[in-house]
Amino acid sequence: MLQSVKNLLMENLKDELAPEKLSLLPSTYQKIGDIVILDINPELIAIDDVIGKIILKNIPNTRTVCKRTGAISGVGRTPQIEVIAGDNNTETIHKENGCLYKFDVSKIMFSKGN
């Protein structure tokens, strides 16, 4: 059975983080193609690369891990993300309902299922 991302991170970081910091770990992620996007609490910014490497190692078919750095902005709804682990290329191919979408997650907001 696949464990939650929060449990995965807590298990890997329990010896390195204080209990109050463990509660700040992300509990969800968005996977678009082979890219995982996380919301990381600002208090954990010093270890975002460690979090990224854990995700990269444990979530199958992941090539790049990014974190959101700000709100989606502008008319084009441009996301603000930063690569924290893996390949620096933020372009991916996402398959949904038999359709393939090729785009750059740092330039285009994508909502799965819409």
Q: What is the per-residue pLDDT across 47-61, written as a single tens digit (0 to 9) for each?
A: 999 999 999 999 999
Under a CB-based contact definition with an 8 Å cutoff, are residues 52 and 26 in contact? no
Burial call 44-78: b when 16+ CB within 10 Å, e when fewer: beebbebbbbbbbeebeebebbbbeeeeeeeeeee
Mean pLDDT of all residues in 62-75: 91
Q: Which domains does the chain have, with CATH numbers?
A: 5-104 (3.30.300.110)
pTM, whole model, 2 decimals?
0.91
On the question of pLDDT at 91 being above 60, the answer is yes
3-state helix, strand, coil in the chain (%, to 5): 25, 35, 40
Ordered DSSP codes for 43-88: GGGGGHHHHHHHHHHHSTT--EEEEEEEEEETTTTEEEEEEEEE-S
pLDDT in tens, 8-18: 999 999 999 99
**Least trusted range by pLDDT, from 4-13, 57-66, 70-79:** 70-79
Which tokens belong to 17?
A: 């983080």
Q: Tell me how far apart the alpha carbons of residues 92 and 89 are, in angstroms, rounded to a whole number.
A: 8
- Stretch 59-87: mean pLDDT, rounded? 92
Q: For residue 1, what pLDDT is reported?
A: 40
- pLDDT by residue (tens digit) across 93-110? 999 999 999 999 999 888
Six-digit token string for 95? 């398959």
Is-contact 55 25, C-beta < 8 A? Answer: no
Average pLDDT of the residues of the chain: 92
